[in-house]
């Protein structure tokens, strides 16, 4: 049998770029427990969002009079960019991420209240969560595939949240 007669392995064809991205991520990272990935990726995402949220935002005079300055912060811009990028990737899944970000935003505001009442600084809690999430995700990915390059771990941390939502949508048989 010569090379022309051999069959090439069946590579799946993808209708959308998001299908190819999720397929590649499933091949690389789904051999382990996705719940562990969900925990570490959520910690990293929450920590980074909280750190960005806590960067001081300039006081704008017209917002101070309406008490809107508490809702306009760098975290708002971060959320807008993330949702836009996820919306372009997979519109239906971006709604799942919007829900997740809403819950995380509520938690960050609650941490601000705890800090105001004498608790730990929000930025410190978020920094700790981000470090645990990033190190945990990296360690678990390297444990599964020792040759995992840093670019793949970065991809897992950035696209991972919406990839995990695709698993939920697939289990519920919701087309995304």
pLDDT computed for residue 133 by the predictor: 95
pLDDT computed for residue 62 by the predictor: 53
What is the distance between the alpha carbons of residues 155 and 173, in angstroms, rounded to a whole number? 25
Token pair belonging to 165: 């939502």
pLDDT computed for residue 32 by the predictor: 67
pLDDT computed for residue 84 by the predictor: 93
pLDDT computed for residue 111 by the predictor: 95
Q: Could you list the pLDDT tens digit for every one of the 176 residues in the chain?
A: 555 555 545 667 878 888 888 888 887 777 667 788 889 999 999 999 999 999 887 766 555 555 554 567 888 899 999 999 999 989 899 999 999 999 999 999 999 999 999 999 999 999 999 999 999 988 888 887 777 788 888 888 888 899 889 888 988 998 88
pLDDT computed for residue 83 by the predictor: 92
pTM of the model: 0.80
Token pair belonging to 8: 């090439």
DSSP letter at 117?
Answer: T
Token pair belonging to 76: 């708002």
Give yes or no for a contact between 52 and 76, defined as CB atoms under 8 angstroms apart. no
């Amino acid at each position: 049998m010569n090379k022309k007669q051999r069959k090439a392995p069946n590579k799946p064809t993808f209708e959308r770029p998001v299908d190819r991205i999720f397929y590649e991520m499933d091949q690389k990272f789904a051999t382990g427990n996705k719940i562990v990935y969900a925990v570490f990726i959520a910690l990293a995402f929450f920590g980074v969002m909280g750190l960005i949220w806590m960067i001081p935002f300039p006081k704008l005079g017209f917002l101070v009079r309406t008490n809107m300055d508490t809702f306009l912060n760098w975290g708002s811009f971060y959320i807008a960019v993330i949702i836009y990028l996820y919306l372009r990737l997979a519109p239906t899944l971006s709604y799942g991420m919007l829900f997740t970000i809403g819950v995380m935003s509520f938690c960050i505001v609650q941490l601000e209240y705890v800090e105001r009442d004498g608790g730990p600084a929000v930025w410190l809690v978020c920094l700790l969560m981000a470090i645990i999430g990033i190190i945990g995700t990296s360690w678990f990915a390297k444990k599964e595939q020792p040759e995992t390059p840093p670019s793949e771990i970065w991809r897992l941390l950035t696209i991972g949240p919406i990839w995990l939502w695709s698993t939920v949508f697939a289990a519920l048989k919701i087309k995304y």
